[in-house]
Structure 1
Amino acid sequence: MLRKTLSLAAAVAMLALAAPTASAATSVSFTPQSVLGPGVPRDGSRTDQNVVALGTVTLDLTATQSAQVVSVMRVNSATVRTLFDNEIVCSWAGGGKNAVLGQNVYQKGSGSPQWEDLTLTTSQLVHPGVAARVTCTAYVRTASLGWDDSTVNLVSGSLRIAPTAGRAIQAAVPVTVPLDAQNPITRQPAIPMFDVPARTLDVVADTEYMVCNTSTPCDKTKTSKAAFTLIVNQWKADGTLCQTDSAAVTADTPYWVHHVVVPLKLTGFPVKTDNGCIPRFNAYVLVKWLSGQTGAVQGVAANLTDARGSTGRHNSDMSAIYVVPR
């Protein structure tokens, strides 16, 4: 009996060693820290960006699931005006998807406190299309906008990932869309007509608006004013409109901020089933240039460095929109 007991214990131990490792966290809080912003290279070479990993989450998905990934970062107390980007880099066996949003944070004591303390939220959907483990890492990207190095305080933040049902309903703006008095309107980012069964929809849209298109003259003492309206439509079987809802904001952005994140959300958009309404929708951001300097809706950020000094490069979505059916 003693031998059998020892054998059983050994077998249990062997099974424990052979069991798969438990999944890493699906949410993580960032450690507050001071982050270096490298100064502008004096030799005129490409801007030197610092890239700091803040936290990683993982999630196992089935072939029919997607995941919503959300990174929140708050920074302040910059010693020099500094580029601040909040980036999510996700990967799985055979694929990956990235998103980044950012703007310039003013130095402490600039006299413009609304630009000195920034909280940016970057989010996206990922859908491998096969059973896969998705791993996502949040990075803060920084660069001083002066010759001297800067520091900026990462005050707080978090990264989380959660499963959603079905394919990822989303779209990103592929290339930058200029806006001015001659071309004042665009409907980007946008999701064309799609069908999805749901009781409600959550719609998230982030527009990265750039002040002064680099190919045009710019008065750096002035601003660019634009209106942003997220519009969500449901349609009837005969092709007529069933219902619509919207959320809007107007932004007047100084040149020295340079590019500003304009977040818009519609949560709990109710899906109607009467009067010929069917679960068919479209969604977009209507951007209207109003006055001041030229502007642009920024497209995909291309050739970002994987790490400071790295020769590896990748692309990340910027202006984008997605839908989570409930």
Structure 2
Amino acid sequence: MKRVWTMLALAVLVVTTFAGGAVTARAATAITYGPERLTGIPAIGTVMVHQIDAISLAMQVGQTAYVYSEMWASSAEQITLVDNEVNCSGAGVSNVVMGENIDQAGSPNTDRVRISIVTQFLVSATTTGTLTCRLYYRGHSLSPTGSALTLEGEFRFEDPSVGEDASGAAMQRSLPYGNIPVTDRVYTPILDATLTSSQTQVDVIAGMEFMSCDPGSCAHSSTRSDARFTLFVNQMNGDTVCRSATPAQLPVSVTRQTHHKAVLLHAKLSLAPGCRRLYAYVRTEYVAGPAGSIQGAAVNLPDADGSGSHTSAMTHLFALPR
């Protein structure tokens, strides 16, 4: 039998919480959830933050874990913001959120009535202890009427201990607060790191958040901002390229109604010996329509318990060397 989550809005821009209280972190390192019906999503002007679950991992100082969350949303009553946010604390600290708007059930935009949003990133332990990562749905209706939708997904430590650079640091970069207009070509984020001599291959993953109609102006909800995203990964010796991965490319078209979209890119490279510089970046190109932008970190996000606010990374790039 499906469970139903019912929420009541507390105040404008103050979160609502599950009537049963916060979810306690378990010893689990991976969970699946749903399908679950989430009701009482407030109208625009108020934000709901609902904790879905939590996972934990014992870590040693300097250890880096790979966190993965995939959230599926469907059967929305209204056009609704769906944010897949993960907050990690304890042995290490990291907050990351990716999201987009879902169309209401029955919309003629059939590709927008069931959506998948992936939030994935690295988090490093600054102390020895337990890392706890909490998964949240964050969102609101885009109409004066409240909404409901169905959520399901998976949340896990994809790898509890990933490779790091030659200095022992995680290979990850994220953009600070602020949007970067895409009116021609934009090269960001950029990862420039030193590999260890024992690493033989690397996966590079980019999570890009693309906003339509910014700084361009869209006259209608169906007006689109079109862009093309390409992830480049080079293994280098100084300024000389030793090997390059096949570029990962994805065309993206985002309507004013969808507003922003999470764009995922993944490239893999077998490493040549003797070349220890890893240089990876995403090129975003304007294609057509009103210009869009790449979103940086989200600031002043209400905490789940209503006690304050925090910043979560959005657009980011990281590497998994082996």
Please state whether the residue corresponding to 1:324 is helix, strand or coil.
Answer: strand
Structure 1's consecutive aligned runs of 4 or more residues displaced over 4 angstroms after TM superposition are none
1:106 counterpart = 2:93 = no
1:86 counterpart = 2:88 = no
Distance 2:125 2:54 in 1: 18
The corresponding residue for 1:283 is 280
What are the within-5 Å matches in structure 2 for residues 1-326 of structure 1? 24-36=27-39, 37-40=41-44, 47-93=45-91, 95-154=92-151, 156-161=152-157, 162-163=159-160, 164-166=162-164, 167-180=169-182, 183-197=183-197, 198-213=199-214, 216-220=216-220, 221-237=222-238, 239-245=239-245, 246-267=247-268, 269-273=269-273, 277-307=274-304, 310-326=306-322
Displacement of 1:307 after TM fit?
2.3
| CA gap 1:301/1:117 in 2 versus in 1, 3 angstroms | same
Which amino acid counterpart does residue 38 of structure 1 have in structure 2? P
Q: TM-score, normalised by structure 1?
A: 0.84
The corresponding residue for 2:4 is none
The Cα offsets for residues 114-168 of structure 1, whole Å up to 9 and x where unpaired, read as: 01100111011001233231100111112000000011111x2111013224431
Distance 1:216 1:208 in 2: 16
Which amino acid counterpart does residue 74 of structure 1 have in structure 2? W
The corresponding residue for 1:4 is none
The Cα offsets for residues 87-140 of structure 1, whole Å up to 9 and x where unpaired, read as: 0100015x5111000000000111011011001110110012332311001111
Q: Which runs of 5+ in 2 are unaligned?
A: 1-24
Displacement of 1:216 after TM fit?
4.8
CA contact (8 A) 1:205 1:320 kept: yes
CA contact (8 A) 1:219 1:293 kept: no
Distance 1:321 1:148 in 2: 37
Please state whether the residue corresponding to 1:39 is helix, strand or coil.
Answer: coil
Q: Percent identity?
A: 31
User: CA RMSD for the aligned pairs?
Assistant: 1.8
Displacement of 1:53 after TM fit?
1.0
The Cα offsets for residues 181-202 of structure 1, whole Å up to 9 and x where unpaired, read as: xx41111122124333411111
Larger-gyration structure (1/2): 1
Which amino acid counterpart does residue 189 of structure 1 have in structure 2? P
Please state whether the residue corresponding to 2:76 is helix, strand or coil.
Answer: coil
Distance 1:89 1:304 in 2: 12
Q: Which runs of 5+ in 1 are unaligned?
A: 1-21, 41-46
